[in-house]
């Protein structure tokens, strides 16, 4: 490496699409990828104000980004959103499937709609994005796909059968796509967070959070930036020989 070579974490010249980029892990990933030099497409569905805050946080520090509103569970909407972003940036090098929702409840009382909606956004939505974005990556013979799974998908959570099933499905999707796309130099990995500040943890009570943290060897919740750092690593040249893996960012909650 010469003295003039860019840092191995540099993403200059790359375009990244991050779903669910308006808050929490998605927002942190958008900001961190932009800081590394990527142009970031910030996807959101129903929160334009918070998505605009993510955009402002990026542009304030000299980064480049745009808003890409679409519903990941709608295949036609996904195709249009991806097509529009490619029309602006010419290509998508990085896809981060982060969009997710919860509809918690015990299986015996879970409504069909709650099951279908969670699977539709968290798992089928990622499939829609992978199908749409991988076409260009295959032509370019290069790309990175990072799916945000969860400890719930590895260990299970009572009252979250739908969410856990979807996040477990993302791991299976990751491994299958990693094998399928490796010949075209497209790396596919998953990041599996534990309990993280903001986002879905906001729905938990203080007592619930303290009870969970008592089981975390590091003794605290994760920060969105902790997860975003793993995403950045997997997008960087440092991860050129890593595919089909699940990177756990959970403070030791699940080993």
Q: Could you tell me if 41 and 65 are in contact, meaning their C-beta atoms sit under 8 angstroms apart?
A: yes
Considering 44, 163, 241, 254, which one is annotated as catalytic? 163
Compute the distance between CA of residue 227 and CA of residue 8 in angstroms, rounded to an integer: 19
163 as an active site residue: the answer is yes
Range 117-153 burial, b when 16+ CB lie within 10 A, else e? bbbbbbbbbbbbbbebbbebbbeeeebbbbbbbbbbb
Helices marked H in the chain — which ranges? 24-35, 48-60, 75-89, 112-119, 125-140, 151-155, 161-181, 206-213, 224-235
Q: Could you tell me if 85 and 68 are in contact, meaning their C-beta atoms sit under 8 angstroms apart?
A: yes
Structure tokens at 171: 């791991």
Nearest to 227 by CA among 180, 254, 194, 252: 194
Residues classed as catalytic: 163
């Amino acid at each position: 490496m010469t003295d003039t070579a860019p840092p191995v974490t540099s993403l200059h010249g790359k375009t990244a699409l991050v779903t669910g980029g308006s808050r929490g892990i998605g927002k942190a990933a958008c900001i961190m990828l932009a800081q590394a030099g990527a142009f970031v497409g910030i996807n959101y569905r129903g929160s334009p104000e918070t998505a605009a805050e993510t955009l402002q946080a990026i542009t304030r520090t000299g980064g480049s980004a745009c808003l890409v509103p679409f519903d990941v569970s709608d295949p036609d909407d996904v195709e249009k959103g991806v097509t529009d972003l490619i029309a602006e940036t010419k290509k998508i090098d990085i896809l981060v499937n982060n969009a997710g929702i919860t509809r918690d409840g015990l299986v015996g009382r879970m409504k069909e709609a709650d099951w279908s909606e969670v699977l539709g956004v968290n798992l089928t939505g990622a499939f829609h994005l992978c199908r749409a974005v991988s076409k260009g990556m295959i032509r370019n013979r290069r790309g990175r796909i990072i799916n945000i799974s969860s400890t719930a998908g590895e260990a299970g959570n009572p009252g979250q059968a739908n969410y856990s099933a979807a996040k477990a499905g993302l791991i299976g999707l990751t491994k299958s796509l990693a094998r399928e796309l490796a010949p075209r130099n497209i790396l596919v990995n998953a990041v599996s967070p534990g309990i993280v500040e903001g986002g879905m943890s906001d729905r938990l009570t203080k007592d619930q959070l303290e009870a969970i943290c008592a089981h975390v060897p590091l003794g605290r919740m994760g920060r969105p930036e902790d997860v975003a750092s793993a995403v950045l690593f997997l997008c960087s040249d440092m991860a050129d020989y890593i595919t089909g893996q699940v990177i756990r960012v959970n403070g030791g909650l699940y080993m």
